[in-house]
Chains A and B, each alone.
Chain A
Amino acid sequence: MDAFTTHTGTVAPLRRSNVDTDQIIPAVYLKRVTRSGFEDGLFEAWRTNEPDFVLNQPQYQGASVLVAGPDFGTGSSREHAVWALMDGGFRAVISSRFADIFRNNSTKSGLLTVLLPQEEVEALWAASEADPTTQVTVDLQANEVRWNERVVPFHIDEYTRWRLLEGLDDVGLTERHLADIEAYEAARPAWKPAALPALPA
């Protein structure tokens, strides 16, 4: 995965809460077996049906930081939602509350999800609506979001931060602990179920 250190770009203010992953990318796009090229499905229904949807407004074209209401990324575990946002040009999403699986998925692909208090989300909405060219910096080295004169710290657990800064993939990290995994397996009760061989019903 690509490392994330710091990113500066403009904001797409998405004034909606409970944005579920079915809205981020509808199920029909999930039939693909590839890992890229999902930008055509990003917010497809809203982009098609709502002329004033934020991503249809010319002043928000090219935005790379999505700022959304609480409970962003609820619902389906589809990592395609993260891929679609990244394919659509987003490097960071800011919200006051993320669904767990979405947030987890984002950290595996290098999309930074930043938790800010709802008042800061509102302030960022107001700033980008007043001036869509407002530049926001999401700085993972300093754990800060900055725009105009404002500096807002954010929290992210140290381990995830390190992984993102270095662009490290989890499987490689876990493989260093193979001996621990083998020791655990040796002590597992023999009656734990196995899918193989198949047993007659």
Chain B
Amino acid sequence: MPKTLAEKVYEAHVVRSTEGEPDLLYIDLHLVHEVTSPQAFDGLRAAGRRVRRPDLTMATEDHNVPTLDILAPIADPVSRAQVDALRRNTAEFGIRLAPMGDRDQGIVHVIGPQLGLTQPGMTIVCGDSHTSTHGAFGALAFGIGTSEVEHVLATQTLPQYRPKQMAVTVDGELPPGVSAKDVILAVIAQIGTGGGQGHVIQYRGSAIEKLSMEARMTICNMSIEAGAKAGLIAPDRTTFDFLEAKPHAPQGADWDAAVEYWSTLRTDEGAVFDREVVLDAASLTPFVTWGTNPGQGLPIAERVPDPADFADENERRDVEGALAYMGLTPGTPLREIPVDTVFLGSCTNGRIEDLRVAAELLKGRRIDADTRMLVVPGSVGVKAQAEAEGLDRVFIEAGAEWRGAGCSMCLGMNPDQLAPGERSASTSNRNFQGRQGKGGRTHLVSPAVAAATALTGHLAAPADLTPVDA
């Protein structure tokens, strides 16, 4: 029977399958961070259990880390205690940790690919919903809760039910200034925050095949915002080229064996998807969100919607609530919304390519006098690379702040937060109420829109900028 890519990866990891019970799935890589793991380690200790495969487990500090003074002890005692707990737990159970200051430290979903630990055909989990990012390599990667973290630590497996299969096909050529972030925001606006529920989404089509690994990660990252369990993309030459020089990539004959296997990881002709969505790349434009969930987005040329236009009573109430929280008036052109803070970073758009795109636009320009811009590389590795390319100078000369690596203002567990009522354009993935700080208002955007917005002080597309030499 023809199979989808996700079915192939799933089936290759079934340890045990019995009628009337979930399958037991083997986990190739377990990523761990400080926020969702302490109670899991406590559970292990209470039951007298060990970590079954410390060698298949990797931990990093990311959510709580300050992006200034990263070598000083964390000032917030509660954050510090959580990071200390991770250090104690990883030492006690023999798990590799990339602590603050380490060359491998960074956002968990940035360092996996960067180290080459993320490879095609793997099962990857983490106590973090954006584990879907790793699907860009053709891995089945999904977020789990703390009880499941404990389960994986103890057994290296997870009980699972077969997910449903969904295909999102994007064919054609993306217009200039339109990026992977715009693609995924458009997908979520179309299918809704529950549209992928119970499904694994495979992204495919000529527009997807042309994307770099960084861009593919941006798309898979936000699968969770469409409600999907995971998102993935078939591995190809682009994938193999990205991996080849990475520290943990297979070497020599192992590399050949791996590539041979990885090349079989494609959806068979005639495989059946439970749901299919098709998008025309050429029709896409820069996309921004106006509301308080990632499905509330529109092309930047549109206006803030009017609740009166929503027929369903519940939906109308939700839109009214979102606009009240966001402080927006129906009918306002999105481009006229002034922005206080621009955040460039996160596991969605904190990779080297994202920084390059923004730096290209900022080069030789100054950001708006009333707007602050935070640039937070996704990892120490990304930071080092950017500095080697001189991007840090470009950001600083444009008036932006160049920070240390971590999750930062994506969720504000560290000091990088919005003040109440403050409005941001953010390259992260969630515009939930209070996500970036109590009372903060978030518009999700691409790195290019973030840069154009920082330069103009209001939501803007790269095409709105006047040429530097003019």
Question: Does A35 lie within 8 Å of B39, measured CB to CB?
Answer: yes
* A contact residues around B318 at 8 Å (CB): 16-18, 69
- Closest Cβ of chain B to A82, distance in Å, is 7
Q: Check: B267 CB closer than 8 A to any chain A CB.
A: no
A:20-55 near B, CB below 8 Å? 20, 22-23, 26-28, 30-35, 45
Q: Contact between B15 and A18 (Cβ–Cβ < 8 Å)?
A: no
Partner of B147, one of A105, A158, A173, A174: A105
Are the CB atoms of A170 and B85 closer together than 8 Å? no
| CB pair B151 A170 closer than 8 Å | yes
Partner of A201, one of B22, B227, B381: B381
Binds B, one of A5-13, A126-134, A141-149, A185-193: A185-193
Q: How many Å from the CB of B341 to the closest CB on chain A?
A: 17
Identify B248's interface contact among A100, A109, A188, A199, CB under 8 A: A199
* A22 and B151 in contact, given A31-B78, A97-B197 (Cβ under 8 angstroms): no
Query: Across the two chains, which residue of chain A brings its CB closest to B41?
Result: A33
Q: Is A151 an interface residue (CB 8 A)?
A: no
Whether the Cβ atoms of A79 and B146 lie closer than 8 Å is yes
Whether the Cβ atoms of B247 and A199 lie closer than 8 Å is yes
A74 interface residue (CB < 8 Å to B): yes
> Among residues 228 to 271 in chain B, which have CB atoms less than 8 Å away from a CB atom of chain A?
229, 247-250, 254-255, 257-258, 261
- Asked whether, in the complex, the Cβ of A31 is within 8 Å of the Cβ of B147, the reply is no
Nearest CB to that of B54 among chain A residues?
A: A196
Partner of A193, one of B38, B119, B155, B161: B119
Residues of B within 8 A of A61 (CB): none
Q: Which among B81, B129, B257, B318 has the highest number of chain A CB atoms within 10 Å? A: B129
Tell me if A's interface is mostly helix, strand, loop or mixed.
Answer: loop
**Contact A171:B155 (CB < 8 A) given known A77-B127, A191-B257:** yes
Question: Which residues of B, 125-148, contact A by the 8 Å Cβ criterion?
Answer: 127-129, 143-148
Q: How far is the CB of A168 from chain B (nearest CB, A)?
A: 12
Question: With A20-B432, A31-B64, A101-B143 in contact, is A196–B148 under 8 Å at CB?
Answer: no
Count of A interface residues, CB-CB < 8 Å: 62
Complex-state Cα separation, A26 to B315, whole angstroms: 24
Q: How far is the CB of B230 from chain A (nearest CB, A)?
A: 10
Q: How far is the CB of B67 from chain A (nearest CB, A)?
A: 16
Closest CB in chain B relative to A101 CB, distance in Å: 6
Q: Residue on A with the closest CB to B96?
A: A195
B29 at interface (Cβ–Cβ under 8 A)? yes
Check if A196 sits within 8 Å of B22, measured CB to CB: no
Indicate whether B413 reaches chain A with its CB closer than 8 angstroms: yes
Contact A177-B15, Cβ < 8 Å, known A27-B412, A196-B55 = yes
Q: Considering only CB atoms, which chain A residue lies closest to B321 in the complex?
A: A16
Residues of A within 8 A of B104 (CB): 198, 201
Number of A-B contacts (CB under 8 A): 213
Q: Is the CB of A181 within 8 A of B127?
A: no
Q: Does B99 make an interface contact (CB < 8 A)?
A: no
Specify which chain B residues have a CB less than 8 angstroms from the CB of A97 in the assembled complex.
194, 197
- A25 CB to closest chain B CB (Å) equals 11
Chain A neighbourhood of B9, CB < 8 A: none
The residues of B that contact A171 with a CB separation of less than 8 Å are 47, 49, 150-151, 154-155
Known: A180-B15, A180-B24, A200-B247. A69 touches B145 (CB 8 A): no
Given contacts A97-B197, A101-B129, A174-B159, contact A75 B430 (CB under 8 A): yes
A196 and B438 within 8 A (CB): no
Taking the closest CB of chain B, its distance from the CB of A70, in whole angstroms, is: 6
- Please name the residue on chain B nearest to A71 by beta carbon: B194
Collect the chain A residues with CB atoms within 8 Å of residue B250's CB: 191, 193
Contact with A along B270-281 (1 / 0, CB 8 A): 000000000000
Q: Which positions 397-434 of chain B face chain A at CB distance < 8 Å?
A: 411-413, 430, 432-434
Chain B stretch 415-470: residues in CB contact (< 8 A) with chain A: 430, 432-435, 438
What are the interface flags for B101-131 relative to A under an 8 Å C-beta threshold, 1 for contact and 0 otherwise?
0011000000000011101001000011100
Interface: B156 (CB within 8 A): yes
Contact partner of A177 (CB less than 8 A), chosen from B20, B24, B38, B248, is B24
What are the residues of chain B within 8 A of A201 when measuring CB–CB?
103-104, 115, 247, 381
Asked if A99 is at the interface of the complex by the 8 Å CB criterion, the answer is: yes
Q: Which of B16, B38, B194, B411 is packed against the most chain A CB atoms within 10 Å?
A: B194
- Write the B22-44 contact mask toward A (1 if CB under 8 angstroms, else 0): 10101011000001101100100
Q: Which 7 A-B pairs have the closest CB atoms?
A: A108-B147, A105-B145, A79-B145, A191-B254, A33-B38, A195-B58, A199-B247
Chain A to chain B contacts (Cβ below 8 Å), 11 pairs: A16-B318, A27-B411, A31-B76, A31-B79, A33-B81, A101-B143, A159-B22, A181-B157, A194-B55, A201-B104, A201-B381
Other A-B pairs beyond A18-B318, A189-B258, A195-B95, 8, CB < 8 Å: A23-B432, A27-B63, A33-B82, A35-B42, A71-B193, A75-B224, A77-B129, A105-B148
Q: Which residues of A contact B (CB under 8 A)?
A: 15-18, 20, 22-23, 26-28, 30-35, 45, 69-71, 74-80, 82, 97, 99-101, 104-105, 108-109, 157-159, 170-171, 173-175, 177, 180-181, 184-185, 188-196, 198-201
Tell me the B residues contacting A by CB distance below 8 Å.
Answer: 15-16, 20-22, 24, 26, 28-29, 35-36, 38-39, 42, 47, 49, 52, 54-58, 63-64, 76, 78-79, 81-82, 85, 95-96, 103-104, 115-117, 119, 122, 127-129, 143-148, 150-151, 154-157, 159, 161, 192-194, 197-198, 224-225, 227, 229, 247-250, 254-255, 257-258, 261, 292-293, 295, 314-315, 317-318, 321, 381, 411-413, 430, 432-435, 438
